[in-house]
Amino acid sequence: MTFEPAVLTIKDDLIAWRRHIHQYPELSFKEFETTQFIQKKLKTFGHMIIDRPTRTGLIARVRGRKPGIPRTIAIRADIDALPIQENNNLPFISKNSNVMHACGHDGHTAILLALAKLLIQDPCCICGEVRLIFQHAEELPPGGAIELLEAGSVKGVEAVLGLHLSSNFDTGIFGVKQDVLTAAVDRFDITLSGKGGHCAYPEQSLDPVPAMAELILALQTVVSRKIAPQDPVVVSVCMARTGTAYNIIPDDAAITASVRSFNPETRKQIEREVRQIASGIALSYGLEAVIDYEYGYPSVINDPGLTQLAEKTLVRRFGENQVMHIDSLMPGEDFSYFLHDCKGFFVELGSRNTAKGTDQPHHNSKYQLDEDALLYGVQYFLDMVRVMLNGVS
Q: Which residues bind Ni ion (CB under 5 A)?
A: 103
Q: What is the closest distance, in whole angstroms, from the C-beta atom of residue 140 to Ni ion in the complex?
A: 11
* Burial of residue 197 (number of CB atoms within 10 Å: 0-12, 13-18, 19+): middle
Q: What is the closest distance, in whole angstroms, from the C-beta atom of residue 104 to Ni ion in the complex?
A: 6
Which residue lies nearer to Ni ion by CB, 103 or 257? 103
Which residue lies nearer to Ni ion by CB, 287 or 369? 369
DSSP state of 251: S
Let me know the angle formed at the C-alpha of 325 by 323 and 328, rounded to the nearest 5 degrees.
135
Q: What is the closest distance, in whole angstroms, from the C-beta atom of residue 344 to Ni ion in the complex?
A: 16
Helix or strand holding residue 166 (H, E): strand 159-170
Give the number of C-alpha atoms closer than 13 A to the C-alpha of residue 173, restricted to the C-beta side.
15
Which residue lies nearer to Ni ion by CB, 104 or 194? 104
Which residue lies nearer to Ni ion by CB, 329 or 389? 329
Give the number of other CB atoms < 10 A from CB of residue 201: 9
Which residue lies nearer to Ni ion by CB, 99 or 212? 99
Which residue lies nearer to Ni ion by CB, 54 or 109? 109
Which residue lies nearer to Ni ion by CB, 86 or 129? 86
Q: What is the closest distance, in whole angstroms, from the C-beta atom of residue 43 to Ni ion in the complex?
A: 27
Cα 379 from Cα 376, distance rounded (Å): 5
Q: Please answer whether residues 253 and 213 qualify as being in contact, where contact means their C-beta atoms are separated by less than 8 angstroms.
A: no
Which of 48, 6, 3, 34 lies closest to 110, judged by CA? 34
Q: Please answer whether residues 360 and 167 qualify as being in contact, where contact means their C-beta atoms are separated by less than 8 angstroms.
A: yes
Q: What is the closest distance, in whole angstroms, from the C-beta atom of residue 217 to Ni ion in the complex?
A: 34
Q: What is the closest distance, in whole angstroms, from the C-beta atom of residue 149 to Ni ion in the complex?
A: 18
* Burial of residue 193 (number of CB atoms within 10 Å: 0-12, 13-18, 19+): middle
- Give the residue nearest to Ni ion (CB): 103
Cα 3 from Cα 21, distance rounded (Å): 24
Q: What is the largest CA-CA distance in the chain?
A: 85
Q: Are strands 174-176 and 179-180 parallel, antiparallel or unpaired?
A: unpaired
Which residue lies nearer to Ni ion by CB, 285 or 380? 380
Cα 56 from Cα 74, distance rounded (Å): 18
Q: What is the closest distance, in whole angstroms, from the C-beta atom of residue 359 to Ni ion in the complex?
A: 17
What order of strands is seen across the sheet that includes strand 71-78?
49-51, 58-63, 128-135, 71-78, 159-170, 343-352, 174-176, 323-325
Which residue lies nearer to Ni ion by CB, 61 or 362? 362
Which residue lies nearer to Ni ion by CB, 103 or 192? 103
Q: What is the closest distance, in whole angstroms, from the C-beta atom of residue 17 to Ni ion in the complex?
A: 18
Q: What is the closest distance, in whole angstroms, from the C-beta atom of residue 191 to Ni ion in the complex?
A: 32
Cα 253 from Cα 229, distance rounded (Å): 31
Q: What is the closest distance, in whole angstroms, from the C-beta atom of residue 105 to Ni ion in the complex?
A: 6
> Which residues contact residue 385 at a Cβ distance below 8 angstroms, ignoring those fewer than 6 apart?
73, 75, 115, 119, 126, 130
